[in-house]
Structure 1
Amino acid sequence: MSVRTFRASVFTLAIAALAALGLAQPAFAAGENYVALGDSYSSGVGAGSYTSESGSCMRSTNAYPYLWRNANAPASFNFVACSGATTASVASGQLGALKSSTTLVSLTAGGNDVGFADVMQTCVLQSEATCVSRVDTAVSQMQSTLPGRLDSLYAGISSRAPQAHVVVLGYPRFYKLSGSCIAGLTETERGAINNASDVLNGVLAKRAANAGFTYSSVVDEFTGHELCSGDPWLHSVSIPVSNSYHPRAIGQSNGYLPAFRSVA
């Protein structure tokens, strides 16, 4: 082998190793035009350090879209995710950020369509039976009305950004069952809420696949870091109340960011 061939081989192996470690990503991301859409799980509610321009949308510099931008330096970055967003409000208020030149899109949406906040409030404040009934109502909505809403939103994204790689991210399971919590919700309530998260994630995955989008689960990343795990990456009932049941900064950096980065 000649010296030139040897050096070329070493260089090729080095680049492959860097890519495997994720260190070569910026070279490829430099051409990305990235738009971050979605609800509070994408805006970063609960992670602190909110940008002044975002107001009640509560976009955090600790949220996974911002962290990915910082690590990869894309050609453009438009962060429009907003606390409280539904599929309808993403469609009406956020899709204007998309362009034909958009190459990468991230999205979390669907939880607010089925009354996520009301479910958790009901379960915290009312009886076990009332909680389980409210969860069942949300699951019914996931299976009946939510698929059509997701299809409509996804079609709008495809229409405005036809060349984009679209990543739909799911939601974590909230609770470690038989965990360390000695107060709060019952195991029955926690199990019902976890099951609802699984159903929601299943709907998101199926509709994303039908749209030609990439679905990325965060369940594996958060396993061992649910509420009642002893090392939660989620807020429980908190002050301010808006933080409740949202990822902490570590949940964004160690949960959502790896799930997005693995498929972006």
Structure 2
Amino acid sequence: MARIKAPRLLAIFSTGIAAFAMTLTGMGPATALATPTEASSSGVVNYVNLGDSYSAGFGSGSLAAGPLPGCLQGSGPTHVSKIAAMENVDLAINAACAGLTTTEIAGVTSVLAPQLAAADLTTLTLGANDLDIRGLVLACSTMGSDATCEQALAIGASLIPAIGASARQTLQLLDSATAGKVLVLGYPRLFTTSNGDQPLITAARARDLNDLGDLLNEAIRTAAEETSAKFVPVLGPFNNHGLGAGDPWIYFNLANLADPFNLHPTTTGYLEGYYPAVRNHIHLNQLVR
């Protein structure tokens, strides 16, 4: 999620997209990615990863530069690295970047047309930055007020239909760009509320935020169902592993509330939460075209 609000982000990202597009255009035969025909004949599954910070591995490892200027990823193990390590899987590109909205992910999708045309499998998360989860959590924490939280929750709920529509447009663009399998991964509930209030948030407000997260997941699921993409929920694997649980799989640094990894899965969350969920939907022998 880690939505970066600085006005320069969009300009940096747009410049990065243009520069990256020029790089792709200049690829020679030795560096060009396999065409769908080549992928099929080689038996290799071409894999592309897109999306926001949950796909970029924020919360695992340390900050690392992605393939675009201004693109940040986590350097540690995630479901993406686990999929890429599977036999006969080639990670053609990991273009997930922290902070991307559904519209910005559509921009990446347009630029990566050659890679997506050759892709047998694409994974992504999208939608949380359109909602600004970090801002909602701050508004509903003990540092906020009831009035601020109620207003933020109302605004968040009002945004859900537009987020779903934008996600659908992005997934339709992705659908037209690839004939391969597209897996849209959902988001976990950030909080486990059964243990009562937490230092920075009450159990009641944590439930309110979880409910809004459920609405976001449902909107993304509906958007995916209107394309050939498959929605993959992760609520089950993350059950009882949110903030406030005895064994949380969500990262939060109480000593640094501005830590960009806050509110993202830990390495365990990616490997034990996301990876098993998505692995159940990957059948390599059916992916190669």
Q: Same fold (TM over 0.5)?
A: yes
Matched, 1:136 2:151: no
Matched, 1:46 2:91: no
Query: Is the Cα contact below 8 Å between 1:80 and 1:94 reproduced in 2?
Result: no
Spell out the pairing of 1:142-153 with structure 2 (5 A cutoff).
142=160, 144-153=161-170
1:207 offset after TM fit, Å? 1.0
CA 101–93 in structure 1, closer or farther in 2 if over 3 Å, else same: closer
Amino acid at match of 2:203: E
Q: Which residue of 145, 153, 174 corresponds with 2:190?
A: 174
Q: Which residue of 79, 82, 96 corresponds with 1:67?
A: 82
Q: Please tell me whether Structure 1 or Structure 2 has the larger radius of gyration of its CA atoms.
A: 1
Matched, 1:84 2:92: no
Runs (5+) with no aligned partner, structure 2: 1-41, 283-289
Alignment correspondent of 2:260: 242
1:172 offset after TM fit, Å? 0.5
| CA distance in 2 between partners of 1:34 and 1:177 (Å) | 37
TM-score calculated relative to the size of structure 1: 0.82
Secondary structure of 2:216 counterpart: helix
Amino acid at match of 1:87: T
Range moving further from structure 2, 97-106 or 165-174: 97-106
Runs (5+) with no aligned partner, structure 1: 1-28
CA 52–133 in structure 1, closer or farther in 2 if over 3 Å, else same: closer
Amino acid at match of 1:198: D
Spell out the pairing of 1:179-190 with structure 2 (5 A cutoff).
179=195, 181-190=197-206
Secondary structure of 1:229 counterpart: coil
Amino acid at match of 1:251: G
| CA distance in 2 between partners of 1:113 and 1:53 (Å) | 21
Moved over 2 A (4+): 49-56, 93-99, 180-183, 236-240
1:223 offset after TM fit, Å? 0.4
Alignment correspondent of 1:207: 223
Range moving further from structure 2, 239-248 or 166-175: 239-248
- Pick the structure with more helix per residue: 1
Q: Which residue of 116, 122, 130 corresponds with 2:139?
A: 122
Alignment correspondent of 1:8: none
CA 229–212 in structure 1, closer or farther in 2 if over 3 Å, else same: same
Amino acid at match of 2:151: S
Secondary structure of 2:127 counterpart: coil
Alignment correspondent of 1:96: 111
1:182 offset after TM fit, Å? 4.3
Alignment correspondent of 1:22: none
Spell out the pairing of 1:189-200 with structure 2 (5 A cutoff).
189-200=205-216
Q: Which residue of 106, 124, 129 corresponds with 1:112?
A: 129
The alignment covers a number of residue pairs equal to 234
Q: Which residue of 260, 277, 281 corresponds with 1:259?
A: 277
Alignment correspondent of 1:26: none
Spell out the pairing of 1:158-169 with structure 2 (5 A cutoff).
158-161=175-178, 163-169=179-185
Secondary structure of 1:39 counterpart: coil
What root-mean-square deviation, in Å, do the aligned CA atoms of Structure 1 and Structure 2 show? 2.0
